[in-house]
């Protein structure tokens, strides 16, 4: 597989795709997971400011389930999942390329994440993100709004879990049983 700066051959995608250039539902990604994560997170420098954090995510994701939305030959956004058996599934990282923001990629990724969580027998979908910290940071307001508007509940703030300058907001989304 050839990896270019921002484009990926479809060989890394688990399911067969049509050549429709329109955005598709998220599919599982099984190859080049770290490279895709590194590439997209690096592009989102207003949110992901620390290279060490990006690298740690990229390495962790190699062994985690990952889903992505494909646009043409590019992964437009991805979500990676961390299991907390028996009942919780965490969104370790979710990110949409800036050019695709607000075009429904994030929602498709959440749908895939929820489906995966349910299929794994989980009753709770969780995610940790930066809590409000008294600064003018509209990009993080937008991230929190994304979770607020997609069924997540602000469960708790952990002031020092990550770092005292980076308070952690723990969101949870109860997953209703599907009979």
Ligand X SMILES: CC(C)(COP(=O)(O)OP(=O)(O)OC[C@H]1O[C@@H](n2cnc3c(N)ncnc32)[C@H](O)[C@@H]1OP(=O)(O)O)[C@@H](O)C(=O)NCCC(=O)NCCS
Q: Which residues bind ligand X (CB under 6 A)?
A: 44, 47, 77, 94-96, 100-107, 127, 129, 142-143, 145-146, 149-150
Which residues lie closer than 8 Å to 81 by C-beta, 6 or more apart? 64, 65, 66, 67, 89, 90, 91, 92, 113, 116, 117
Which C-beta is closer to ligand X: that of 62 or that of 137?
Answer: 137
d(CA 133, CA 159): 10
Minimum distance from CB of 51 to ligand X (Å)?
Answer: 16
Give the residue nearest to ligand X (CB): 106
Of 151, 144, 60, which Cα lies nearest the Cα of 114?
Answer: 151
Which C-beta is closer to ligand X: that of 75 or that of 94?
Answer: 94
Which C-beta is closer to ligand X: that of 16 or that of 163?
Answer: 163
Minimum distance from CB of 120 to ligand X (Å)?
Answer: 20
% helix, strand, coil for the chain, step of 5: 30, 35, 35
d(CA 142, CA 145): 5
Which C-beta is closer to ligand X: that of 79 or that of 121?
Answer: 79
Minimum distance from CB of 179 to ligand X (Å)?
Answer: 27
| Strand, helix or coil for residue 26 | coil
Minimum distance from CB of 126 to ligand X (Å)?
Answer: 11
């Amino acid at each position: 597989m050839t990896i270019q700066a921002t484009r990926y051959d479809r060989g890394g995608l688990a399911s067969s795709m049509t050549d429709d250039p329109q955005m598709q539902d998220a599919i599982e990604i099984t190859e080049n997971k770290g490279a895709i994560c590194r590439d997209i997170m690096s592009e989102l420098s207003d949110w992901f400011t620390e290279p060490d954090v990006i690298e740690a995510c990229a390495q962790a994701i190699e062994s985690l389930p990952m889903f992505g939305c494909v646009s043409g030959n590019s992964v437009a956004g991805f979500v990676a999942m961390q299991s907390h058996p028996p009942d919780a599934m965490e969104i370790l990282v979710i990110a949409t390329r800036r050019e695709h923001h607000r075009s429904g990629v994030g929602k498709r990724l959440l749908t895939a994440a929820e489906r995966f969580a349910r299929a794994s027998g989980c009753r709770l979908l969780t995610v940790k993100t930066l809590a409000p910290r008294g600064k003018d940071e509209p990009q993080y307001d937008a991230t929190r709004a994304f979770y607020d508007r997609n069924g997540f509940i602000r469960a708790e703030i952990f002031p020092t879990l990550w770092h005292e300058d980076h308070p952690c907001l723990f969101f949870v989304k109860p997953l209703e049983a599907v009979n």
